[in-house]
Structure formats: C-alpha cells, structure tokens
Chain A
Amino acid sequence: MSRPTTGPALEVRGLSKHFGGVIAVDACSFEAPLGQVTGLIGPNGAGKSTAIDLVSGFKLADSGTVLFKGREIQGHPPHEISRLGLIRTFQSPREWPGLTVLENVVMARWDPGREGFLGAITGLRRAQRAKADDELAQARDILDEFGLAKLRNERAGNLSGGQKRLVEFARIRMAAPELVILDEPMGGVNPVLGERMAVAIEGFIAAGTSVIVVEHNLPFIERVTQHVIVMAQGTVIAEGPFESLRSNRDVVDAYLGEQVR
C-alpha cells in the first residue's frame, strides 16, 4: 500500500466544545503531518483528551472542522472514522478482557466482508479460511515482535497494565491505520517498557502509520518526536521543536507547578 508522505494527516480548525459552563476546547486549531510523530502536550485540564474525543467522533463538537486526509470527519460516528483509517487509543487500556491476547489482535482488524451473519454461515469456504489463516499468522508475527507470543492464549484481562499497553500497540499494528492517536500511552508504564513503546512508535511510522501522541511524560515526548503542540485552557498556545518550547514563556507559565526539566 503506497501512501503519500507529505501534507497534513489531520487538520483541526476552530474546534470548540463546552460542557455546561466549562469550555473544554476553545477554538483549537492544529495540524499533524503525514508520516511523522506529533506530540500533543499540556497541563491537566488543557483539553487534550476532549480534543481527541472530538476528533475521533466519541464526542460531538459544538463548532469547528476536522479534516482527515483533507476530508471532513467532524460529526461522523467513531466507527466510520476508524474505518477511514484514524484509530485512537484510550487513557486506560481498553482491551477485550475476556478474549485472548491473540483474539484481541486479530479482532483489531475490521473486516466488512466477514463480519455479517452470512459471513458466519459461509465461513467454511476455502478463500475465507485462507484469509483467516493469513490473519492469524500476521497476528502471531506482531505478538512476537512485541514479546507477547508466550501470552497469546492468555485472557487479556489477566495481563498487567504494561502488558495491556503492549496489546494495545499490537492491535494498532494489526489494524494498520493511516493515523493513530495515542492517548497517554505511558500512563502506568515503567521506563524499560517505555523504551519498547518508543521503538514501537518508530515501527508505526515505518509501517506507514502517522502518529499523534498525547502525553504528560515530557522525556518520552522528547524521545519520540521533535514536533510538539502545546495546549492550555482548550487551545493551542505554542508549537514547534522541543528546545524552542523550553524557553517559551507561555509554555512555562502554563506548566507552572509542573516540571519541564
């Protein structure tokens, strides 16, 4: 699959959302280029998570537009946005706990032809079986890559928090979206695993998946990208390489009380 490597993967323009009297996202605009990692940082309550919910269709915006590969997706339901190739993760891992790790990875790929009731009945056909076998082999390879091969038959709900994060990453690899938005992937993750996740993010880029990382862990952001967007009070206050942000007065103010290294 050849995918363009330039131009924005995601363009957010004037996005706003309020809950009652609280303005969570306020005329927020930013771009995330194709084929790169974009960091999205900001203090607690900056509106990062709400912005992701709006972009991925899990919440409806009050106003503004969201263009994914130049196409308006604001107002579309989450599954449609996902099918277009924009997949997001959640702050806490959302594995399917009763399914095995392998099943979690296999089911990360949505397959319209085989997921209907008729597909269930006609599943004996050779072409269908071959496809299922391919998928299984691919899922095994991905689990291998993430060091989860031995856990593949374990129910995902039994895994540790860090392992669940890896399963989430493995699912992204299987789904192979054009853009993934990772919502605080480092939450509850130790430094060793963090390095593995940084490598995995490089793997996403190599596989043609652009990445937006929302994160509080600034060293991790610095490790994975130079292009950082800073949000505060629902809007973007700064953007640029990490070094320039460190000396940016607004950013320091926004983070007052938080450590910027």
Chain B
Amino acid sequence: MTTYLIAVLTEGAIFGIMALGLNVIWGWSGDFDLAYYGYIAVGAYMTIVLTVGPPVAPAQYIIGQSLPYPLAVVFAVITAMAVALVVGSIALRHLRGIYFSIVTLGAVYVMYVFAGQYVPLFDGYNGLSGLFDPMGDWFGLDYFSYQYFFLGLSLVMFALVYFVMSRVSSSRFGMALRTLREDERAAAAFGRDIYRLKLKGYVLGAALGGFAGALFAAYLTAFNTSAWSPVEVIVLYSAVLVGGRGNIRGVVLGVLIMGLIVNESTRFLPQLPLPGLSAFDTLHPQVLQAARGGIIGLVLVLFLRFRPQGLLPERRFVDRSPATPAIEPAPLAS
C-alpha cells in the first residue's frame, strides 16, 4: 500500500507539472496544442541519452553521455524548448483554433513516428532504458529509500513550478497572454506583439512539459514510444478542463481527480459487484481496459456540457478598494 501511495503521489506531482505547462498554452494563451506530449517525450528521451552513457550493441541512440542527472535535465528542457520554438514559430504565425490544432497534431505525429522508426535516434520502438535511481548514489540510497527520495524531489519540483506559475498567473505577462486568448486583435491594437507573445507562452509551456518528461523518465527508468501515445495529451486536457482552465489551483485539482479516475477505474472496474463481470474480465481483459478511455471521454463530455469553466473557474482580480463614484452614473441602456 505504501508503495502504491508513493507511486500515486509521485505520478501526481509529475502530471501536475505537465498540466501546469499545458495550462500556459491552453489555459492562458488559449491555443489547443496537440503537440504538447511531444515536448514531454523530448524531455524524457534527452534525459536518458544524456545520462546512461554510450549505447551497447545492438542498441543505438544519439549522444550517449554520462552527465549528472540535473545537468541532463537542463539540456533536456532546452531541447524541448528548441523543438517547441520550431513547431510554434510555424504553427502560431497565422493559424488559430482548429487549424493550429491540426498543424500541432501533424507535428507530434512526425515526432512520434520519427522516434519510433528512425532507429539511430532513440533506438526506435525499443526505446531507451537504464536510467536507474539518478542521484541515488550521491546520497547512498538503496532501492526502497530512493522511492521516498524521488517522491520528495518530485513534490519539491512541483511546488517550485507551482510557485513560479502562481507568480506568472497574476503578472502582466500572464495577463498579456490572456488578452490574446480573449481577443487578439484588441491585444494588437493595444501594443501586443501577438506572435512573439504567443511564442513565448508556447515555449514556456513546452519547457515545463520537457521538465516533467525529464522527471517522468527517471520515474519510469525507461522511455519508448509505447509510453507516449500522442492521445495521452487528452488526459492532460481533461485534467485542465475538469479542474478549471486558466486557474492553477483548479489545474492541480483536475490532476488529482483525473489521476484518480485513470488509475483507479482500471483497478476497480473489474471488482464492481455485477454478476458475471469478473468472469467476463478474465475472458476479455481488454474490454474493461478500454473502458478507461470511455470514462475519460464521458467525464469530458459531461464537463463540457454542464460546467465548461471547470470546478474552480479562472479567478479574476477583484478590486476591493472603496471607490465611490463622484457622481452617480446615469443609467445606461442600449
């Protein structure tokens, strides 16, 4: 049970960072980016190739360095940002709405297929492995104590990201991103360089994605294409939507809720006291497995229909200064 709890909390912290990054792009800038999981993957892949040393045949991959984990994370984040800069500078220039989504979907499939098919890059579909307990030997940790260490590390990193994002949320930068979401022509009319600002937000979001990917790689110890189907991003979107798009507290709440649903539905669905269910599950285990996607979809549909602003809607600055109008405003009707 303890192991399970540690796993849930560690994953929660990592998914929390992922969702906070997505919130920058979708929650604040307002762009439905489908390439986001690609930046997580870039972060994960780069962390591994920078830490596990040169490849041993028949494995093949680029770089093959044995850098200390924190340094590898820094380079991994920079790489994710660079990839996002390329994708963003193409997709954000003129495209908005569904057209932006289509281009980013194309971009992430290019990344996905490339990582899977071009073996010399990240060993194709075999993927990379061997990132065991990074930094563990610095502190002389064994396998069991390392779990606690990594949980602590993930939580501290999550708290750090949360703090920075809470600053960004109320800053003029965060507000400027929202003016783009709300009406970008007006934003341009009042001096905002739409393209640059959107690109900045996009690269910032991708940086968090790459960072979360770097932690995710250490948590999984390995990474391959089966670890990141591009549709995984829908789970992140549902977390942001359920919690409250644009509200970082809501995003964290959404991660907790969707994390529970995703993790627990597959565990507990077979145990539901329905006659014949467990026998059915033994015969066709993939059906209840697939029900997970159905449940996520159902939650998404219900929220979009009944509470599109999420459980904790984006909060606005409320000015409580006792400003009393000098003259009573004339009634306005038009």
Contacts and interface: CB of A to CB of B under 8 A. Distances in A.
A82 B319 contact: no
A56 B189 contact: yes
A121 B164 contact: yes
Given A56-B189, A99-B316, A193 B164 contact: no
Interface stretch (B40-48, B179-187, B230-238, B277-285): B179-187
Contact of B317 (A103, A115, A192): A103
B333 interface: yes
Interface in B156-181: 164, 167-168, 170-176, 178-179, 181
Interface in B280-334: 314, 316-319, 321, 323-327, 329-330, 332-334
B181 to A, nearest CB: 7
A98 B177 CA distance: 12
B191 A149 contact: no
Given A147-B329, A189-B334, A107 B175 contact: yes
A165 B333 CA distance: 12
Given A107-B179, A114-B172, A82 B188 contact: yes
| Interface footprint category on A | 35 or more
B333 A162 contact: yes
Contact of B319 (A97, A102, A110, A166): A102
A149 to B, nearest CB: 4
B190 A171 contact: yes
A247 interface: no
Interface string B68-84: 00000000000000000
A87 B190 contact: yes
Given A102-B319, A107-B176, A153-B319, A160 B189 contact: no
Nearest to A137: B321
A90 interface: yes
A111 B324 CA distance: 28
A78 B319 contact: no
B111 interface: no
Given A117-B200, A144-B326, A149-B325, A78 B171 contact: no
Contacts of A89: 189
A152 B319 contact: yes
Contact of B179 (A88, A90, A99, A175): A99
Nearest to A120: B171
A111 B326 CA distance: 29
B334 A149 contact: no
Nearest to B309: A98
A175 B176 CA distance: 15
A192 B330 contact: yes
B264 interface: no
A260 B314 CA distance: 49
A160 B172 contact: no
Interface residues of B, number: 44
A178 to B, nearest CB: 13
Given A96-B178, A140-B319, A193-B334, A78 B172 contact: no
B215 interface: no
Interface in A203-258: none
A89 B239 CA distance: 37
Contacts of B333: 160, 162, 190
A188 interface: yes
Contacts of A160: 332-334
A163 B329 CA distance: 11
B109 to A, nearest CB: 29
Contact of A175 (B175, B187, B190): B190
Contact of A94 (B167, B189, B321, B334): B189
Contacts of A108: 190
Contacts of B327: 147
B105 interface: no
Interface in A73-129: 77-79, 82-83, 87-90, 94-100, 102-103, 106-111, 114-117, 119-121, 123-124
Nearest to B171: A120
A117 B173 CA distance: 6
A90 B189 CA distance: 9
Interface in B131-177: 164, 167-168, 170-176
A45 interface: no
A161 B191 contact: no
A171 B190 CA distance: 9
Interface in A130-167: 136, 140, 143-144, 147-150, 152-153, 155, 160-163, 166
Contacts of B318: 100, 153
A147 B321 contact: no
Nearest to A86: B189
B332 A162 contact: yes
Contact of B182 (A78, A98, A111, A148): A98
What 4 A-B pairs are tightest by C-beta distance, nearest first?
A147-B329, A110-B191, A162-B334, A120-B171
Given A103-B317, A115-B192, 9 more contacts: A79-B192, A79-B193, A96-B178, A110-B190, A160-B334, A171-B190, A175-B190, A192-B330, A193-B332
26 contacts: A96-B178, A96-B182, A98-B181, A99-B179, A99-B182, A100-B316, A100-B318, A103-B317, A107-B172, A108-B190, A110-B191, A114-B172, A114-B173, A117-B168, A119-B171, A120-B168, A120-B173, A123-B171, A140-B323, A144-B323, A149-B324, A155-B316, A160-B334, A161-B334, A193-B332, A196-B330
